[in-house]
Amino acid sequence: MNKKRATYFSIIHSVPEFKQRKYINIKRITMKTKLVIMAIAVLTLFSCNNRDQKSADKTAQIDNIKTIYFGGDIITMEGDKPEYAEAVVRKNDKIVFVGKKDKALKEYPNAVQFDLTGKTMVPAFLDGHSHIYNVGFAALAANLLSPPDGPGKNFESIVKILNEYKNSEEGKYMINKLGWIIGNGYDDSQLEEKDHPTAEILDQVSTDIPIIIIHQSGHLGVINSKAKEMMKINTNSKDPKGGAFRRDKNGNPTGVLEEGAFFSVLFPVISKSDPEFALKCVNKGQEEYAKNGYLTAQDGRTTPGQLEILKTAAKNNKLYIDVVAYPDITLGTDYISGDVYSPSHKYKNRFRIGGVKLTLDGSPQGKTAWLTQPYLVPPTGQKKGYKGYPVMTDEQAIEYVKTAFKNKWQILCHTNGDAAIDQYINAINKAEKEFGYPDHRTVLVHGQTLRKDQIPELVKLGIYPSLFPMHTFYWGDWHVNSVLGEPRASYISPCRDVVDAGLTITSHHDAPVTFPNSMRVYDATVNRITRSGKILGANQRLTAYEGLETFTKWAAKQYFEEDTKGTITVGKLADFVILDKNPLKIDPMTIHDIKVMVAIKEGKTVYLNK
């Protein structure tokens, strides 16, 4: 089977109409049939979430087709060192054979043959931590990201982008739906001005329509004067708990919002979404994850409105990848349980609530994370010695963690600063003594400034670290020069020390903070290269194989899904990703150039790189 045949098979494999007619002998496909297949594929591969129940029924009728995958490197991820198989067979949605090609062909003589043509197959990726609904939402906003991800390099470019966006079809759609102009991803650390724009800067875009632009960290933002007026933010406004209005020398809010102040404006805006807009966000999010090989996605810190949206999408069979939600426990507990989607390890229509999310501090690059030692350069308006701040008191943190333990809910906690990590460790200690239960798999999310002396506490309490080494690329230079300074900067996301302590970890992208780019996550975990080309913390690198474990085998364990995902093993789901190169056989410095060619969810193609 040549390269074209493998590609055509990928398309056929995803189109129920063709599978039902049994166009499964690749050698017998005519050119006319190929053209029809390609036409249908364009419509099908990127709108499979819109298939109606009738189409789903057709799929069920032909699920008995077996497929043999061979002809490339198949990395099973089963051992502590790389293990390869010559062939894999799937039947229905499960793997039924892993082993020698000759034996597979002999035992399954009527199976469809999928030739990998030298490419590499690995288990599908599981997302260590992110926000899939917000990824879809951000995809509809103006792209203010700095290069290489976007054009936002200075204040002038931000104004230009927003002016073009407000007159674009997508911008008009957002203004009509939400009543606001929204931009996403500006980053003061990468802007030429090395500062946040202000309300006056955004007024150059509009003084009639409210504007909010979201910092790349997702923890700060800026609004224009119209928005300040609408939200009644002025000199007399008091800072909300766990947040702040940045002010000029006269005490007047500049439009820059931190943490609680930012969320108090953003959440009401995004809650205005109607069913059509909500589904559009869900669809956009799934597209972004599938094309990067993530077939299990997380929605960490789900609001009540977003939870209803995800439930509705699941009930209407609109999810074609698995989605696990972790509702924000600080927004109440009534909305978390009480129906068919109470916290569970089992999916219903590709959706489940995995537990709850807690947030104890902010962003290190935004200088709102809570540290025990001062920031190297304090943010505007703060004095030397500034260490950031907590979101809540120790007593509140303890109560939230106890609530999770009492209900046997897995809890994920956003803790960037080492002071916040101390607070979390203390809360877990208290909760475990009162409501401890075996195998709770409590997760520490981000852990940017995790100290070496805190790692034994993670081991003792059975805390799973989900670290964020992508910071080394996106903000590594900023950490060195402005946020932490050395030696603290080189120790961010200390993957090597955590793994050597005996813990399994996940490495994540925290999208929409960054794109859900699996190869950029992988590259950062293995190489730790900054934008300027500096290696930041060489002694905290993982091997290429360990890096792959962080979003396959180890990620499955974090999700309580090690029995069904994470390795290519008989009995597990047929969730695969096909890469154009074997990451274990190339120069590790080129990992970020690897391309995802095909993503297969339970035997069905959900993404095809054309």
Portion of the chain with pLDDT greater than 90, in percent? 81
- CA dist., res. 293 & res. 289, Å (int): 6
Give residue 485's pLDDT.
98
Residue 269 confidence class, pLDDT cut points 50, 70, 90: confident
Give residue 64's pLDDT.
58
Portion of the chain with pLDDT greater than 70, in percent? 90
CA angle 530, 557, 420 (to 5 degrees): 55
Give residue 339's pLDDT.
81
- Nearest residue to 544 (alpha-carbon basis) of 177, 7, 120, 33: 120
- CA dist., res. 561 & res. 577, Å (int): 17
To the nearest whole number, what is the mean pLDDT of the chain?
89
Residue 31 confidence class, pLDDT cut points 50, 70, 90: very low
**Domains located in the chain, CATH noted:** 3-118+602-608 (2.30.40), 132-270 (3.10.310.70), 360-542 (3.20.20.140)
Give the mean pLDDT of 536-551.
98
Give the mean pLDDT of 516-541.
97
Weakest mean pLDDT among 39-43, 271-275, 503-507:
39-43
Owner of token pair 């398309």: 11
pLDDT at 27 over 70: no
pLDDT at 322 over 70: yes
User: What is the pTM (predicted TM-score) of this model?
Assistant: 0.86
Give residue 436's pLDDT.
87
Enter the tokens of residue 322: 């698995």
**Strand, coil or helix: what is 186?**
strand
**Strand, coil or helix: what is 432?**
helix
Give the mean pLDDT of 102-111.
96
pLDDT tens digits, one per residue of 439-448: 999 999 999 9
Longest CA pairwise span in the chain (Å) = 81
Residue 47 confidence class, pLDDT cut points 50, 70, 90: very low
Please tell me what DSSP assigns to residue 452.
Answer: G
Give the mean pLDDT of 270-277.
83
pLDDT at 600 over 70: yes
Weakest mean pLDDT among 290-294, 434-438, 490-494:
434-438
**Whether 507 contacts 467, CB under 8 Å:** yes
Give residue 365's pLDDT.
92
Give the mean pLDDT of 55-77.
72
**Whether 190 contacts 146, CB under 8 Å:** yes
3-state secondary structure 392-414: CCHHHHHHHHHHHHHCCCEEEEE
**Whether 206 contacts 226, CB under 8 Å:** yes
